[in-house]
């Protein structure tokens, strides 16, 4: 009990220190568009539903969602990324400005299409909305050499004034291993934590401190099926740790919580916080890496940072759409739950 109180106080101090920190995010900035419609009838033209348009919203997604999560945690966040000269790009920049997030590191280019993921949700007046289809709009090619150079220069400048650097690679070209290699000469991992969320090519990054893949990404990366095979999960995590020379690794497992690996300490298995009856998992990975990075920047251990990330994930999946967790919300959970270290 005494240890739990002490751990609780430690986590609270970590979260309370967030406003003193600055974190750079180099990432693929995505616009998440949600179109809500009320089911009207079945079309005569084809066996599909006709939806009466009710509402539309565009919110930061992908790397932009990690930026938004950091801002809501009280962090001074410096985004580096790319948008097109189009409506989704303008709405992302507007959203950043609304949160007082600097946008000088966000490049705008006429030849680039802002990555936009449009989710169409249907429902009735008295029923929950369900996603029926998603339409993705993506740039035809990766950023050109000039834009890549500008991204590197902005990231180098920001990294010098930061307490951590977060790389959010969704595969659209603004946060590639090549861009990271060009940045890293000015971003010493011995000086500040460098965290990575890479959808498809995590093992291609070198010199990062920590990574936060989900279990399906690990399975695809390692060519295995994990399921409930704890030894196989443990072995996969240890292989990734050794291959990338990481200080820490967090593998998120949905309703099974997360597993935290540390170079110097034992692996811990942390059950999901709250209920496993979630409302929406959209963007939960962005919340995990944002909270984990913020905690590491504040001096937290892998275990402490993983517990805070788990609390934040438990909160955000209860919110519909692409959402964030605020610092007061996280503090409230810390106060009510305290630390509850677990191991397999």
Q: Strand order of the sheet with strand 29-42?
A: 49-62, 29-42, 115-123, 130-137
Q: Strand order of the sheet with strand 76-84?
A: 106-109, 76-84, 22-27, 164-169, 194-198, 210-211, 248-252, 258-262, 268-270
Give the pLDDT confidence score for residue 321 in this predicted structure.
65
| 286 belongs to the catalytic site | yes
Give the pLDDT confidence score for residue 283 in this predicted structure.
65
| Both structure tokens of 189 | 């991992």
CATH architecture of 2-31+59-115+139-337: 3-Layer(aba) Sandwich (3.40)
Residue 307's φ and ψ, nearest 5 degrees, are -65, -45
- Residue 48 exposed, middle or buried by CB count within 10 Å (0-12, 13-18, 19+): exposed
Q: Where do the structural domains in the chain lie, given as residue ranges? A: 2-31+59-115+139-337
Give the pLDDT confidence score for residue 1 in this predicted structure.
47
Give the pLDDT confidence score for residue 186 in this predicted structure.
63
Give the pLDDT confidence score for residue 178 in this predicted structure.
96
- Of residues 32, 109, 262, 286, which has the active-site annotation? 286
Contact 5, 338 (CB under 8 A): yes
What per-residue string of b and e applies to 204-216 under the rule 16 or more CB within 10 Å gives b? ebebbbbbbbbbe
The pTM (predicted TM-score) of the whole model is 0.90
Coil/strand/helix, residue 124: coil
Give the pLDDT confidence score for residue 2 in this predicted structure.
45
Contact 272, 310 (CB under 8 A): yes
What is the Cα–Cα distance from 195 to 198, expressed in whole angstroms? 10
What is the Cα–Cα distance from 251 to 215, expressed in whole angstroms? 6
Instruction: Tell me the per-residue pLDDT of 229-285, one tens digit each, with 9 for 90 and over.
Output: 999 999 999 999 999 999 999 999 988 889 999 999 999 999 987 665 554 556 688
Q: What is the pLDDT along the chain (344 residues), one digit of tens a residue?
A: 445 556 788 999 999 999 999 999 999 999 999 999 999 999 999 999 899 999 999 999 999 999 999 999 999 999 999 999 999 999 999 999 999 999 999 999 999 999 999 999 998 877 778 889 999 999 988 899 999 999 999 999 999 999 999 999 999 999 999 999 999 876 555 679 999 999 999 999 999 999 999 999 999 999 999 989 999 999 999 999 999 999 999 999 988 889 999 999 999 999 987 665 554 556 688 999 999 999 999 999 999 999 999 999 989 887 776 788 999 999 999 988 754 444 44
Give the pLDDT confidence score for residue 235 in this predicted structure.
96
Residue closest to 6 by CA, chosen among 336, 341, 338, 342: 338
């Amino acid at each position: 009990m005494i240890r739990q109180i002490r751990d609780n106080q430690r986590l609270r101090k970590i979260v309370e220190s967030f406003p003193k920190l600055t974190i750079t995010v180099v990432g693929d900035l995505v616009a998440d568009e949600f179109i809500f419609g009320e089911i009207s009838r079945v079309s005569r033209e084809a066996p599909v539903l006709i939806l009466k348009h009710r509402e539309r919203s565009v919110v930061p997604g992908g790397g932009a969602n990690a930026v938004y999560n950091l801002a809501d945690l009280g962090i001074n966040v410096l985004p580096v990324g790319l948008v097109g000269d189009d409506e989704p790009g303008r709405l992302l920049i507007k959203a950043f400005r609304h949160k007082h997030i600097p946008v000088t590191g966000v490049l705008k280019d006429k030849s680039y299409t802002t990555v936009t993921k449009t989710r169409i949700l249907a429902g009735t007046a008295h029923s929950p909305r369900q996603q029926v289809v998603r339409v993705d709009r993506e740039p035809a090619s990766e950023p050109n050499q000039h834009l890549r150079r500008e991204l590197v220069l902005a990231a180098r400048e920001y990294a010098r004034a930061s307490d951590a650097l977060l790389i959010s690679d969704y595969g659209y070209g603004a946060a590639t291993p090549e861009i990271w290699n060009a940045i890293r000469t000015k971003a010493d991992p011995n000086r500040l934590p460098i965290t990575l969320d890479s959808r498809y090519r995590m093992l291609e990054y070198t010199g990062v401190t920590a990574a936060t893949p989900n279990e399906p990404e690990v399975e695809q990366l390692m060519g295995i099926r994990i399921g409930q095979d704890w030894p196989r999960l443990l072995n996969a995590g240890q292989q990734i740790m050794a291959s990338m020379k990481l200080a820490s690794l967090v593998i998120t497992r949905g309703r099974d919580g997360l597993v935290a690996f540390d170079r110097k300490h034992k692996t811990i298995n942390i059950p999901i916080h709250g209920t496993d009856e979630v409302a929406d998992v959209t963007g939960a990975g962005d919340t995990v890496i944002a909270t984990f990075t913020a905690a590491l920047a504040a001096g937290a251990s892998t275990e402490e940072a993983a517990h805070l990330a788990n609390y934040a994930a438990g909160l955000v999946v209860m919110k519909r759409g692409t959402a964030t967790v605020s610092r007061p919300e996280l503090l409230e959970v810390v106060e009510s739950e305290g630390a509850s270290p677990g191991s397999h």
